[in-house]
């Protein structure tokens, strides 16, 4: 799916030098590397401030808290996403309200969003799933009309843009993950929150460090959720290469798209006009349901080709959320996506030959 060793081989000396620098300084938490990375990611994404935290999940949790979400509140999230989008809501004692998605983009469907809002809704999380931006103008407009802040889950979308604006710069908060397999991945956990509000950035800096405004003085209850210096130093090296890696992913997606076009019952991902897709993963749809998809996946495996199902079960059908009482059939696009998606290998170092082999195997299976 991903060849992190190939990427490391091209970076080894730069990363080694960055780590040597830290070993010499012995400054591990909240230092110059983290502060520099915050500025660089904010600048890269067109937002005013960045606040480094311990993970993407923590980024969501702290952003939700800063947006005023707490026990008894509702937060709307798409039903088809990674579980962390909802578990960040649950961690604060709030309730995730699941909304259905659009079939083309896998993002929350703005036309069905309004019907999910109640008087208790305190935030909406828009997930730019697989690297394709959500329809932000419509979502922001709904939020504005109802006075509800929008939080962007950018864990899979660093560098993606919507009508010229980068993801993470449009909502009240943009939440990023640096989990090793993300488009910008560290060598451990990490995350960041972007915001255009200086005041919110200051509050988040306190919240991630036990609510401390000064040493041993806490204005409010906080967390220990800091991005450590070693991750920040590694991420700074990798950030220099991100644009070039993203361009390679986009080129690979184009190639895959040309090879998979016109196959019966196969739909390759595409970017909607005005949206820039960064292909965190390359997810096709195998139409006709989970059994046909399983046949395709088995055929790929028989040729030594990896594939993954992100995600096999929508959140409303997860045992963890059974108590919310949302049954099968209630969010049909999310359920159909869970039965049809299949992600193919995608990373910058992938070769044309490899893509051709994967596409040929998908074609054989699709025609069988």
Binding positions for ligand PLP, 121-180, rule CB under 6 A = 127, 153, 155-156, 177, 179
CB of 50: closest distance to ligand PLP in angstroms?
15
CB of 88: closest distance to ligand PLP in angstroms?
7
Dihedral sign, Cα of residue 19, residue 25, residue 26, residue 27: negative
78 binds ligand PLP (CB under 6 A): no
Comparing CB distances to ligand PLP, the nearer of 226 and 292 is 226
191 binds ligand PLP (CB under 6 A): yes
Comparing CB distances to ligand PLP, the nearer of 230 and 355 is 230
Quick note: the x/- pattern for ligand PLP over 94-113, rule CB under 6 A, is: --------------------
Closest residue to ligand PLP in the complex (CB): 56
81 binds ligand PLP (CB under 6 A): yes
CB of 108: closest distance to ligand PLP in angstroms?
12
CB of 191: closest distance to ligand PLP in angstroms?
5
Comparing CB distances to ligand PLP, the nearer of 161 and 292 is 161
Comparing CB distances to ligand PLP, the nearer of 85 and 169 is 85
CB of 143: closest distance to ligand PLP in angstroms?
19
Comparing CB distances to ligand PLP, the nearer of 260 and 334 is 334
Tokens of 187: 């060598």
Tokens of 249: 């992913």
85 binds ligand PLP (CB under 6 A): yes
C-beta neighbour count of 302 within 10 angstroms: 10
Q: Which residues bind ligand PLP (CB under 6 A)?
A: 55-57, 81-82, 84-85, 127, 153, 155-156, 177, 179, 189, 191
């Amino acid at each position: 799916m991903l060849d992190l060793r190939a990427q490391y081989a091209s970076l080894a000396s730069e990363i080694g030098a960055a780590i040597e620098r830290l070993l010499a300084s012995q400054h591990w938490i909240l230092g110059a590397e983290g502060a520099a990375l915050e500025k660089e990611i904010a600048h890269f994404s067109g937002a005013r401030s960045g606040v480094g935290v311990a993970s993407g999940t923590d980024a969501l949790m702290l952003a939700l808290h800063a947006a005023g979400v707490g026990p008894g509140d509702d937060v709307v999230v798409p039903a088809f996403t990674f579980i962390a989008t909802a578990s960040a809501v649950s961690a604060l004692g709030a309730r995730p309200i699941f909304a259905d998605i659009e079939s083309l983009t896998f993002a929350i469907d703005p036309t069905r969003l309004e019907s999910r809002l109640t008087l208790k809704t305190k935030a909406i999380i828009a997930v730019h799933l697989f690297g394709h931006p959500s329809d932000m103008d419509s979502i922001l407009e709904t939020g504005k009309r109802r006075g509800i802040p929008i939080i962007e889950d950018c864990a899979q979308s660093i560098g993606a843009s919507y009508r010229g604006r980068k993801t993470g710069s449009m909502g009240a908060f943009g939440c990023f993950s640096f989990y090793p397999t993300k488009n910008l991945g560290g060598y451990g956990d990490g995350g960041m929150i972007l915001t255009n509000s200086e005041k919110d950035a200051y509050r988040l800096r306190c919240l991630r460090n036990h609510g401390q405004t000064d040493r041993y003085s806490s204005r409010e209850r906080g967390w220990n959720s800091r991005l450590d210096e070693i991750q920040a130093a590694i991420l700074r090296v990798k950030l220099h290469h991100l644009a070039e890696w993203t361009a390679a992913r986009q080129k690979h997606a184009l190639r895959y798209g040309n090879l998979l076009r016109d196959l019966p019952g196969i739909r390759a991902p595409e970017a909607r006009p005005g949206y820039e897709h960064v292909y965190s993963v390359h997810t096709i749809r195998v139409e006709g349901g989970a059994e046909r998809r399983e046949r395709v996946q088995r055929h790929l495996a028989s040729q030594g080709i990896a594939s993954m199902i992100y995600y096999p079960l929508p959140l409303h059908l997860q045992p963890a959320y059974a108590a919310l009482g949302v049954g099968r059939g209630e969010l049909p696009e999310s359920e159909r996506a869970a039965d049809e998606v299949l992600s193919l290998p995608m990373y910058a170092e992938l070769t044309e030959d490899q893509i051709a082999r994967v596409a040929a195997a998908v074609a054989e299976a699709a025609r069988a």
